[in-house]
Amino acid sequence: MPPRTDIPAETTSGLRERKRERTRRTIGDAAFRLFAAHGFEEVRLTDIAAAAEVAPATVFTHFRTKEEIFFSRRADFNQGLAAAVAGAGTTLGLIAALEACFRAATRIGLDEDGLPRSRTFAGVLLASPALRDAYLVLERERRELLLAALTERAAGRTAVADQELFAGLVGAVASAAFGARHRLLAQGAPIGDVEAGVDEVLRRGFGRIATAYAGDAALDAAHAAHAAGG
């Protein structure tokens, strides 16, 4: 039977993308089980391919390294960051929005269904020097994402150095909050204690940033001028 030619291109493209995502998820889940059982350093990419029942070449098609597989869901934790920046009208409003954004991000995976995986993730991460090094790269990516959002918001009316300083301060607080989350999860702390520990870091960190920027209208003016089209 000849192949059908009446299937819309958008449908074919959508099917391919869903198949690709299923394959990525299958590989990621298989790798995660191996990392949890044997430790990150002991698992080879060929082991992951065998566990996922795919060819090694298929793994390399979707992921370049084991680290990339381990952190394959990292984008979930940065969702809403650009929107939080764009929607804030003042510097203090921006700080409050970012605190709320990171509080929501640190809650991901703390529900009943996600908690076991989050605990395992934290334990494997903290036990692996290679993963801890790779995590530093992800923290830099988060700061760069924040800086890009700040740059778009400022529309050239705030000095780049000021934006970089602000992004660095926020990035340091976010890193400390996620670090507290990982440590508490790996220690087996109850969810309430994890949330309280993370919230304390966020409260203290963003509180100090707010104190430092109180009365500083530079970012306010940049946003106001941008919003007014000036």
For the range 183-191, what are the long-range contacts, defined as Cβ-Cβ under 8 Å and sequence gap of 24 or more?
A: 183/122, 183/126, 185/118, 185/119, 185/121, 185/122, 185/123, 186/119, 186/122, 186/123, 186/125, 186/126, 188/119, 191/110, 191/115
Q: What is the pLDDT of residue 168?
A: 95
Q: What is the pLDDT of residue 73?
A: 85
Q: What is the pLDDT of residue 130?
A: 94
Under a CB-based contact definition with an 8 Å cutoff, are residues 146 and 173 in contact? no
Q: What is the pLDDT of residue 155?
A: 75
Cα(9)–Cα(19) distance, integer angstroms: 15
Q: What is the pLDDT of residue 88?
A: 85
* Cα 48 to Cα 35, 64, 168, distances in angstroms: 9, 13, 36
| Low-confidence spans in the chain with pLDDT less than 70 | 1-11, 156, 216-230
Q: What is the pLDDT of residue 79?
A: 87
For the range 111-119, what are the long-range contacts, defined as Cβ-Cβ under 8 Å and sequence gap of 24 or more?
A: 115/191, 117/32, 118/185, 119/185, 119/186, 119/188
Q: What is the pLDDT of residue 99?
A: 97
What are 48's two structure tokens?
């992951």
